Structure 1
Amino acid sequence: MIINTEQVEAVLMDKAVSGYLIEKETGISGASISRLRNGKKRFGDLSIDTAIKVQEWIDAGGVTN
């Protein structure tokens, strides 16, 4: 699997994509998404596991970006 970090970051930061939806579809905590979107957590500090979950969701057609 190739992780497109720009795509993953764009999805996570896109407030048009509900944090709740990302949480339910990927298992990533809503608090983690909120901290990222509010600038309290840097994208570069995300775990590889988180990036994989988002990329798998994107690849499965969970979100189009």
Structure 2
Amino acid sequence: MKLRDKVQALLDSDATSYAIAKETGISNSTIVELRHGKRKLSNITLKIAERLGEYYDTHQAK
């Protein structure tokens, strides 16, 4: 699965923004903005994308 697909799947999942923010170090507001379309997925940094992808990989296995 491509990184972009992982990030989108995570944003569409039932995981709370708070839980994602707490574990990844990404601000809760950034995650909320991505989920509500106020920030485009194509405009996030590689660092943020990688953190979200790692979170997806870690929690998808559970």
Q: What interval of TM-score do these two structures reach, taking the shorter chain for normalisation?
A: 0.7 to 0.9
Greater helix content = 2
Structure 2 unmatched ranges of 5 or more: none
Could you tell me whether the CA contact under 8 Å between 1:8 and 1:51 is conserved in 2? yes
Cross-structure match for 1:8? 7
> Normalised by the size of structure 2, how large is the TM-score?
0.81
Task: Give yes or no for the alignment of 1:30 onto 2:25.
Answer: no
| Coordinate RMSD, CA, aligned | 2.0
- Percent identity, please: 32
The count of aligned residue pairs is 61
How far apart, CA to CA, are the structure 1 residues paired with 2:60 and 2:42? 22
Q: Runs ≥4 in structure 1, deviation > 6 angstroms?
A: none
Structure 1 unmatched ranges of 5 or more: none
